[in-house]
Structure 1
């Protein structure tokens, strides 16, 4: 998994990812910097990595890897680009761009 800060105007992305009881720590990413970690999806299909992301004036949460949604899209690797509008997934099937984009989830 590779998560890259593609926020505009040089904003620093503060990233905090978790998997069950495994806390991957807080990482401050400057524009263009990336945080990488390795994992193997569980055989039960329940692998879910959740990340909190914030930058000046914004706080968001996103399931950065959900086995049910991403098992076929993240083969062999999973690359995410974080933008103000939402995170995007690198599309291995097309022309090598981050073309699968998601909106931020609403917090209730």
Structure 2
């Protein structure tokens, strides 16, 4: 029987620890999913498409067009230091201004599935009620 190589044993233990930690990471840092539904109605009582542009400090998700009644979704993991913030701008042809909302704030929002409904006055998050635009430019 050959003696156990110390380096091989240490490497094996390290792999086991890393595998365990990566499995556990989802328990302590679950996936957050933000869904944005467009219900913007313009004069004439008709729905319109909106353009959304979401960003965080580290990620720019680009521009996406959401047709009336449709959804746009994205997923991520919270920052380990408690500072994840995604904000989005919204525009539509009938109103050329940019409308802004903090779409996810780790320090304030308590949701893993954050379902937004966007209307011409602002947005509604899950069952937490609705709010006006954070700003309009």
TM range (shorter): 0.7 to 0.9
TM-score, structure 1 as length reference? 0.83
Residue 101 of structure 2 corresponds to residue 68 of structure 1: no
Using a 3 Å threshold, how does the CA distance of structure 1 residues 82 and 107 change in structure 2: closer, same or farther? closer
1:49-82: CA deviation from partner (whole Å, max 9, x where unpaired): 0101111214201110011110x2x1x3110010
Using a 3 Å threshold, how does the CA distance of structure 1 residues 104 and 12 change in structure 2: closer, same or farther? same
Residue in 2 aligned with 1:79? 115
Q: Determine if contact 2:37/2:69 at 8 Å carries over to the other structure.
A: yes
Runs of 4+ in 1 over 6 A off after TM superposition: none
- Where does structure 2 lack aligned partners over 5 or more consecutive residues? 1-33
Match 2:80 to one of 20, 43, 58: 43
Comparing both structures, which one devotes a greater share of its residues to helix?
2
Residue in 2 aligned with 1:32? 69
Residue 117 of structure 2 corresponds to residue 88 of structure 1: no
Match 2:130 to one of 70, 80, 101: 101
TM-score, structure 2 as length reference? 0.66
Cα RMSD for the two superposed structures: 1.5
- Where does structure 1 lack aligned partners over 5 or more consecutive residues? 92-98
| CA distance in structure 2 between the partners assigned to 1:106 and 1:25 by the alignment | 20
Using a 3 Å threshold, how does the CA distance of structure 1 residues 43 and 87 change in structure 2: closer, same or farther? same
Q: Does the residue aligned with 1:87 lie in a helix, a strand or coil?
A: strand
